């Protein structure tokens, strides 16, 4: 009996046994699409939509197909929308018989005329009590008065949409804050390049891709030859200027998908993807020449990842090759 119970509980917990209609919505967009479809079934209004108030415009986000020919992405003048009158208190949220003579009976924007004789407009309010937009419905002819249960269902749907939206926007803000913090923690303050933490992460992520898909990748290590002399002779501010100048030259010599980092005081590293051995040599030569033209002496070492040599190993090998080049200069 106990095993039978646990088997049933496991089946109940498995989402694979549930139809899509009872699973959570993936985001606000899918929730609002379901909401407007439900509103249309509930009210039989011709057009049902979720709108976003954006400055002086109302943007239609989710829209049911209708003879109005309004589609997602269309914008209307906010002042021309009946929803604006609802939010200012000029109109009630539920108007099922707008008289033809009423001043706002016909809405017009961008040359598109919308005949509206019945209207529903309920605000979508965020957690900070600001208005995001509305869930609304329009019909070209008067409609029967909505029942108390219908109105209650519309209000509930609006509040649920507002909740989903608020949580999604809060999550988005948190992700942005995390990404900003991550970017700051992985950025070198002096040059704006990746720092050692960011470089380690980039190597790790690229190593996974190389192992999974057989991609090729190479590492270049660049070390400035005369930073100590510049620091001792002209001071650390001049040394910082040298590092910033070198960083700009290296970054400019790289391709858009190359990863560039300052991995130490006067040492830089470049992760270059999908480059041939001949291309790697030419790339290293291009960086040396660009630095030399700017009056910056540097030593460069390179290495390429292989199935038996990880990117971290390639970095170590490139670093060793750089020191060989530096020692050869005497």
Compare 102 and 257 and report the one with higher pLDDT: 257
- Distance separating alpha carbons of residues 99 and 111, to the nearest angstrom: 23
Q: Is the pLDDT of residue 219 over 70?
A: yes
What would you report as the CA-atom Rg of the chain, rounded to the nearest whole angstrom?
31
pLDDT of residue 108: 42
Give the rounded percent of residues in the chain with a pLDDT score beyond 90. Answer: 55
Q: Is the pLDDT of residue 175 over 90?
A: no
Residue 188 falls inside a structural domain: no
- Distance separating alpha carbons of residues 305 and 313, to the nearest angstrom: 8
Last residue of a domain, one of 149, 177, 205: 177
pLDDT of residue 146: 96
Q: Which long-range contacts (CB under 8 A, 24 or more apart) does 63-68 make?
A: 63/36, 64/36, 64/37, 64/39, 64/40, 67/140, 68/114, 68/138, 68/140
Residue 322 falls inside a structural domain: yes
Say whether both 260 and 165 belong to one domain. Answer: no
Residue 186 falls inside a structural domain: no
Average pLDDT estimate for 227-241: 83
pLDDT of residue 247: 95
Q: Is the pLDDT of residue 10 over 80?
A: no
Say whether both 171 and 303 belong to one domain. Answer: no
Last residue of a domain, one of 148, 177, 206: 177
Say whether both 54 and 132 belong to one domain. Answer: yes
**3-state class percentages of the chain: helix first, strand second, coil last, to nearest 5:** 50, 25, 30
Give the rounded percent of residues in the chain with a pLDDT score beyond 70. Answer: 89
Average pLDDT estimate for 279-305: 95
Last residue of a domain, one of 177, 211, 226: 177
Compare 39 and 15 and report the one with higher pLDDT: 39
Average pLDDT estimate for 268-290: 94
Say whether both 215 and 172 belong to one domain. Answer: no
Average pLDDT estimate for 80-107: 76
Residue 108 falls inside a structural domain: yes
Say whether both 160 and 13 belong to one domain. Answer: yes
Per residue in 315-330, pLDDT (tens digit) is 999 999 999 998 887 6
Say whether both 136 and 207 belong to one domain. Answer: no
Per residue in 131-172, pLDDT (tens digit) is 999 999 999 999 999 999 999 999 999 999 999 999 988 888
pLDDT of residue 11: 56
Q: Is the pLDDT of residue 221 over 60?
A: yes
Average pLDDT estimate for 229-242: 84
Residue 191 falls inside a structural domain: no
Average pLDDT estimate for 86-92: 88
- pLDDT class for 77, splitting at 50, 70, 90? confident
- Distance separating alpha carbons of residues 179 and 176, to the nearest angstrom: 5
Mean pLDDT of the chain: 87
For residues 284 and 268, the answer to whether their CB atoms sit within 8 Å is no
Say whether both 7 and 154 belong to one domain. Answer: yes
Say whether both 38 and 162 belong to one domain. Answer: yes
Q: Is the pLDDT of residue 13 over 80?
A: no
The CATH number of the domain holding residue 10 is: 3.30.450.40
Which of the residue ranges 108-117, 148-157, 201-210 would you say has the lowest mean pLDDT? 108-117
| Non-local CB neighbours of 151 within 8 Å, separated by 6+ positions | 94
The CATH number of the domain holding residue 219 is: 3.30.70.270
Q: Is the pLDDT of residue 5 over 60?
A: no
Q: Work out the end-to-end distance of the chain between its first and last CA atoms, rounded to an integer number of angstroms.
A: 83
pLDDT of residue 98: 84
Residue 273 falls inside a structural domain: yes
Say whether both 138 and 279 belong to one domain. Answer: no
Residue 66: give the domain boundaries. 2-177
Say whether both 108 and 27 belong to one domain. Answer: yes
Q: For residue 277, how many other CB atoms are within 10 A of its CB?
A: 11
Say whether both 118 and 240 belong to one domain. Answer: no
Average pLDDT estimate for 112-139: 89
Say whether both 46 and 131 belong to one domain. Answer: yes
Q: Total structural domains in the chain? A: 2
């Amino acid at each position: 009996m106990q095993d039978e119970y646990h088997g049933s509980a496991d089946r109940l917990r498995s989402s694979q046994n549930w139809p899509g209609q009872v699973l959570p919505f993936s985001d606000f967009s899918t929730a609002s699409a379901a909401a407007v479809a439900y509103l249309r079934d509930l009210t039989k209004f011709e057009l049902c939509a979720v709108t976003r108030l954006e400055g002086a415009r109302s943007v239609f986000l989710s829209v049911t197909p209708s003879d109005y020919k309004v589609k997602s992405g269309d914008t209307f003048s906010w002042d021309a929308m009946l929803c604006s009158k609802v939010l200012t208190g000029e109109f009630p949220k539920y108007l099922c018989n707008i008289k033809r003579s009423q001043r706002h009976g016909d809405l017009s924007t961008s040359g598109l005329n919308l005949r509206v004789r019945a209207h529903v407009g309920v605000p979508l309010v965020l957690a900070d009590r600001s208005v995001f937009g509305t869930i609304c419905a329009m019909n070209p002819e008067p409609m029967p008065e909505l029942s108390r249960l219908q109105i209650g269902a519309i209000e509930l749907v609006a509040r649920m949409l507002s909740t989903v939206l608020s949580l999604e926007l809060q999550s988005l803000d948190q992700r942005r804050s995390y990404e900003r913090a991550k970017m700051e923690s992985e950025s070198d303050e002096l040059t704006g390049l990746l720092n050692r933490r960011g470089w380690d992460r980039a190597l790790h992520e690229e190593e996974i891709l190389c192992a999974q898909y057989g991609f090729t990748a190479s590492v270049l290590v660049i070390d400035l030859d005369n930073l100590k002399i510049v620091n001792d002779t002209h001071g650390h501010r001049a040394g910082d200027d040298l590092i910033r100048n070198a960083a700009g030259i290296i970054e400019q010599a790289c391709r858009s998908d190359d990863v560039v980092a300052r991995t130490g005081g006067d040492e830089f590293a470049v992760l270059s993807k999908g480059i041939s051995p001949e291309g790697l040599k030419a790339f290293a030569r291009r960086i040396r020449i660009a630095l030399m033209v700017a009056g910056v002496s540097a030593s460069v070492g390179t290495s390429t990842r292989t199935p038996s040599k990880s990117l971290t190993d390639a970095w170590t090998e490139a670093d060793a090759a750089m020191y060989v080049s530096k020692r050869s200069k005497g």
